Every structure is written in structure tokens, then in C-alpha cells.
Amino acid sequence: MAHILDSALDAVGKTPLIRLDRIAEMHGLKCNLLAKTEFMSVGGSVKDRIAKAMVEAAEKDGILVPGQSVVIEPTSGNTGIGLALTCAIKGYSVIITLPNKMSLEKEALLRALGAEVIRTPNVPWDSPDSLIEVARRLEKEIPGGVILDQYRNVNNPLAHEWTTGPEIIEAVVSTPSTPSRPSSGKVDAIVAGAGTGGTVTGLSRAVKKHNKDCIVVGVDPKGSILALPEALNLESAGKPYVIEGIGYDFVPGVLVQKEVDSWIKSEDEESFTAVQRLMRMEGLLVGGSSGSALSGTLRWLKTEEGSKLANTAGANVVVVLPDGIRNYMSKPWFLKLAMENESTPLRETIGKILGKK
């Protein structure tokens, strides 16, 4: 990006692919463990891409009319932030329905970007008070109201098929294999969490065109029902979980579960530990679902299917890190892991110098 950009929209995506060498070494992996750092997108998440794509497609189709349309969207926050940012630049009003579970930081950002935010109770998706039903009621009554509908909009998976996937492939293909850093020259496996499922479905379509043998792994939290085979979901169906942005109680239209080769169920605690490792060992300021994606990746690499790649020098295993920790700084789970610090030798030395414990 060595030139002047026309607006923040030109800084959507184009995120770095970064080696997680220290974590790979800790787990005895021979493959390359590579992170697609979506929190470096301009609005701070993987969802900037679909917000831009959905708005631009709707403008082209005449669905959004400047000065008239009001963009309404149910979201766990990041699509809302992407939409609010896009609409701030383009001049549309925005209303976001956001479940109570989602962080204060997301609501504050949405409001700062000029959006109206309606908090909704954590109820089933088809209940009259759910984020989806409240958005639908508003769309009916508000003149110019339009729901772009990330759950069904083809531009959601397409944004990943056309941008996220090709960026990953280009980074892998254009990095030469050297004796100290061997590479197969292709993406051998890719792991992404599923919320709407747009990321994992779109990425699957992109990587299979590039390498038909690439293994696509989806990560779905315990308590959600997006994984296959369905038996995987049964033991934990309906269980509450803290991680935001992944998992649903219905299968969104854009998620084609069968285009995902393997599913891993994630849990809160292992996700928090993985977030801490990504920060402390790799310097990456990631959010909770990035921890789920990484812990899911590490668990999959221990399965029969995954361990073949784990033990292959030069195999490229990519994990998508969807958003950043700045979305979650007030959450108790973050404050706990931030303050937990076992580096006591230094602390003792400081204590001696300053005369404090």
C-alpha cells in the first residue's frame, strides 16, 4: 500500500499472513502454522470485507439509494462495525440489533460510528425478541429500511472466495521454499470458526480451486449446532458459552456444512488460553474466537487426519484470526488472563529495588 488510498474502504482486508513459529515449536509441529490476521483490517475484523461487498452489490442493484435507504442488520457486532464504517463513508443511516451477550466495546464502537444500536435478549433466533426478528420488524416499519442479511447474502461467502482466500493463497505461493523455511508451495489445510459460515464456506471454495486436496476445518463452539456429523452437537446443544461471533442455534443459508471437510467443537477455557498464547508468544492482539480457531487447529492437528500434516515439514496450515482483543477489553475473561502473570522472578527483583512486594 505504497500509495494514497481514496478512503478507509480501500484499507478493508489485505491483512498479513504471519508465522506462529513459537506456538508451533511448543506443540512439536513440523508443518508451517500460519495466521491470517483479520484484526488488522481497517474496522478490526474479518467482517469488514462482507460489509463492503454487501453494500457495494446492493448499490449496484439499486437496492440501496443514497439519501433514502436505512441499513438494518442483526449481528454479533463485527458485521455491524463494518457496515457502520462503510455507511459512514457512503452516507447511509444504520440500525444494528445486537444480542445482550455481545461486548460493550462493540456497542460503543457502533455508536461512535453513528449507528443506532438496539440490544436484544439472548433468546432463540425465531423468538419475536431475537436480533433477527427485531430487525425484521424495524425493516417493515422504517421507510427505506433494508436488511442486507449476512445470513443469506451471497456476497458474504463471495467476499471470502474473492478476497480472503486469494490473499492467503498468494502469500503462500509467493513465499519461496528455503532449507530453513521449507514450503509445499500450496495451502494444505485451512481452519476457520463459523458464525454465519461465510468465512469457512467462501474460503473452502477458494482453496479447493487452488489445491483440491486442501483440508478445510470448521470450528464451532460447544452449545452451537453448526458442526457435522450432528452427533458432535448433541452432547452440548444449548449450553451457554462466552466466546462471541461463532456458533448459532440455526444453520445460516450461506453456510454449506458439507463444503467443510472436518468439524471441531471448541470450548471457552481452551480459547482463552490460546488467546493468551497468541498475545504472549506471538505478539498478536486477538479476540476470543481467534483463540477458538487456534485451539481447534491444534486439536485437529492431533487427529489421525491432521497429524499427517503436523509431521510434514513444509506443509502449510492456515488459521483465520477473525478479530482483535480491543473488542473485549472490559470482559472478565480478558481481564483475568491479562492480569495473570507468572513472570515472578522479575517481579521479585523489582520488589527488592523498590522495596515493595
Q: How far is the CB of 180 from ligand PMP (least distance, A)?
A: 33
Span near ligand PMP by CB under 6 A; candidates 43-51, 205-213, 275-283, 332-340: 43-51
Residue selected from 53, 322, 324, 325 as contacting ligand PMP according to rule CB under 6 A:
322
Q: Give the interface segment with ligand PMP, choosing from 134-142, 196-204, 266-274, 294-302 (CB under 6 A).
A: 196-204
Among residues 36, 47, 106, 265, the one annotated as catalytic is 47
Tell me whether residue 69 or residue 193 sits nearer to ligand PMP (CB atom). Answer: 193
Return d(Cα 306, Cα 172) in angstroms, integer.
19
**Contact letters (x/-) for ligand PMP, 70-89, by CB under 6 A?**
------x-x-----------
Nearer Cβ to ligand PMP, position 51 or 315?
A: 51
Whole-angstrom distance, CA of residue 328 vs CA of residue 314: 35
Q: What is the smallest separation between the CB atom of 69 and ligand PMP, expressed in angstroms? A: 23
Out of 132, 323, 331, 337, point to the residue binding ligand PMP (CB under 6 A): 323
Is 47 among the residues known to form the active site? yes
- Give the N- to C-terminal CA distance of the chain in Å, as an integer: 48
Q: How far is the CB of 4 from ligand PMP (least distance, A)?
A: 30
Please identify which residue in 198, 221, 296, 324 interacts with ligand PMP, judged by CB under 6 A: 198
Contact characters 220-249, ligand PMP, x per CB under 6 A: ------------------------xxx---
Smallest separation, CB 68 to ligand PMP (Å): 28
Q: How far is the CB of 63 from ligand PMP (least distance, A)?
A: 21
69 vs 327, beta carbon nearer ligand PMP: 327
Is 155 near ligand PMP (CB under 6 A)? no
Rounded to 10 degrees, the C-alpha dihedral 95/101/106/108 comes to: 80
Find the part of the chain contacting ligand PMP (CB under 6 A) among 62-70, 113-121, 193-201, 310-318.
193-201
Decide: 209 and 186 in contact? Cβ < 8 Å.
no
Least distance in angstroms from the C-beta of 322 to ligand PMP: 3
- Of residues 273 through 312, those in contact with ligand PMP by CB under 6 A are 287, 289
Binding footprint of ligand PMP on the chain (CB under 6 A): 45-47, 76, 78, 193-199, 244-246, 287, 289, 322-323
Q: Which residues are catalytic?
A: 47
